């Protein structure tokens, strides 16, 4: 039975990683959680066995599924307090090796999908004169790494979209929050990463392999944070009644974003080259 005095959150991309941990954390805090994913019937997830968590279908590229998820939530819980736009993945590799279809899918999922969910929830939040939209961006939305040009550009788009949108929505008491994780131990480095590669692009192999080795060293040295850390930050943003917009979280996020802001381009770019391409 729905506990209507509790708050309710819809979270996208909950099959693993940050989305799954955020669903569990909100549930532990007594929230009604609508955990959405593209194929809830095909995914084996512990979320299905948790009281207070509804696992339902939502594809960020299918506006009908988004609308259906919102209707389901309103019917069961009467009110939606927070939406967490978490669904996304990474396309990695030389831009020259990427295919048009890969580029389109990257932007469709990470940017247009996030916009689709936001557009669909706004009528409800405007009617309520209240609501929080939390967009999971990345430290990669404030700085860049080699061979992540497409992923970086989607996260920069999320940052710009969110920052502009908050001006429009403040009059309705709708808050926009941006989460900027650093290095997090999720499927980002495995299942959720798509590699753009082409056997004819041998000229990139040396630098590409150096970047791959850099990431392997980070994993081996455990230079990362658990996604639970990001889940805690998302929850903190959800209950923060201030108009603070950006929340840095996880390994190196604060340091690297601060350095990017303070250092001139040549110095900062040199640091990244030495780290990732040495």
Task: Report residue 235 as tokens.
Answer: 């929850």
Question: CA-based angle 191:196:199, to the nearest 5?
Answer: 125
Number of helices (H) and strands (E), helices first, in the chain?
9, 9
Active site residue 148: no
CATH at residue 91: 3.40.50.720
Residue 159 lies in a domain: yes
What is residue 105's predicted lDDT score, i.e. its pLDDT? 96
Residue located via tokens 């396309």? 91
Asked about 7 being catalytic, the answer comes back as no
Which helix (H) or strand (E) element contains residue 272?
A: helix 265-276
Residue 2 scores a pLDDT above 90:
no
The one catalytic residue in 151, 204, 224, 235 is 151
CA–CA separation, 72 and 50 (whole Å)? 18
Pairing of strands 90-92, 193-195: parallel
Q: Write down the pLDDT at residue 224.
A: 80
**Residue 122 maps to a domain:** yes
Active site residue 151: yes
* pLDDT tens digits, one per residue of 28-39: 999 999 999 999
Confidence at residue 185, expressed as pLDDT on a 0 to 100 scale: 83
Report the distance separating Cα 277 and Cα 148, nearest Å: 13
Least confident of 72-86, 155-169, 200-214, 248-262: 200-214
Radius of gyration of the chain measured on its C-alpha atoms:
19
In 3-state terms, what secondary structure has residue 277? coil
9: which strand partners? 33, 82
- Please report the pLDDT score of residue 162 as a whole number: 98
Say whether pLDDT at 127 is over 60: yes
Residues 213-266 pLDDT 10s:
999 888 888 878 899 999 999 999 999 999 999 999 998 899 999 999 999 999
In a domain, 1, yes or no: no
By residue range, what is the domain housing residue 214?
Answer: 8-276
pLDDT at 153 over 80: yes
Give residue 192's pLDDT: 47
pTM beyond 0.85, yes or no = yes
pLDDT in the model for residue 223: 76
Residue 2: inside a domain: no
The reply to whether 3 falls in a domain is no
* Tokens (6 digits) for 274: 């030495």
Distances from the Cα of 241 to the Cαs of 34, 131, 176, 237, in angstroms? 22, 10, 11, 8
User: Which of 20, 155, 175, 248 does the annotation list as catalytic?
Assistant: 155
Which of 21-25, 82-86, 196-200, 207-211 is the least confident region?
Answer: 196-200
Number of domains in the chain: 1
139 in a domain, yes or no?
yes
Residue 99 φ/ψ, nearest 5 degrees: -100, 155
pLDDT per position as a tens digit, 9-59: 999 999 999 999 999 999 999 999 999 999 998 766 789 888 899 999 999
Catalytic residue among 15, 90, 98, 137: 137
Q: Does residue 174 contact residue 124 with C-beta atoms inside 8 Å?
A: no
Percent residues over pLDDT 70 in the chain: 92
- On whether residue 95 sits in a domain, the answer given is yes
Residue 28 belongs to a domain:
yes
> pLDDT at position 166, please?
98
Distance separating alpha carbons of residues 128 and 4, to the nearest angstrom: 15
């Amino acid at each position: 039975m729905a506990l209507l005095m509790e708050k309710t959150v819809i979270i996208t991309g909950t099959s693993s990683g940050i989305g799954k941990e955020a669903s569990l954390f909100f549930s532990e805090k007594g929230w009604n959680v609508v955990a959405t994913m593209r194929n809830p019937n095909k995914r084996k997830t512990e979320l299905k066995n948790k009281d207070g968590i509804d696992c339902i279908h939502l594809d960020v590229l299918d506006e009908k599924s988004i609308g259906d998820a919102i209707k389901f939530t309103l019917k069961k819980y009467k009110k939606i307090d927070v939406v967490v736009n978490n669904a996304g993945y990474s396309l990695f590799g030389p831009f020259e090796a990427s295919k048009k279809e890969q580029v389109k899918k990257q932007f469709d999922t990470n940017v247009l999908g996030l916009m689709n969910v936001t557009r669909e929830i706004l009528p409800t939040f405007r009617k309520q004169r209240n609501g929080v939209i939390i967009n999971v961006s990345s430290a990669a939305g404030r700085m860049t790494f080699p061979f992540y040009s497409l992923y970086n550009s989607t996260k920069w788009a999320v940052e710009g979209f969110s920052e502009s949108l908050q001006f429009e929505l403040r009059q309705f008491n709708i808050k926009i929050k941006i989460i900027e994780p650093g290095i997090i131990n999720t499927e980002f480095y495995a299942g959720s990463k798509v590699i753009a590669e082409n056997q004819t692009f041998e000229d990139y192999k040396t630098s590409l392999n150096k970047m791959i080795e850099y990431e392997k060293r980070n994993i081996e040295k455990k230079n990362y944070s658990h996604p639970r850390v990001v889940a805690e930050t998302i929850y903190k943003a959800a209950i923060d009644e201030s108009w603070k917009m950006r929340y840095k979280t996880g390994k190196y996020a604060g340091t690297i974003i601060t350095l990017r802001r303070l250092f001139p381009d040549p110095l900062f770019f040199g640091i990244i080259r030495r780290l990732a391409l040495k």
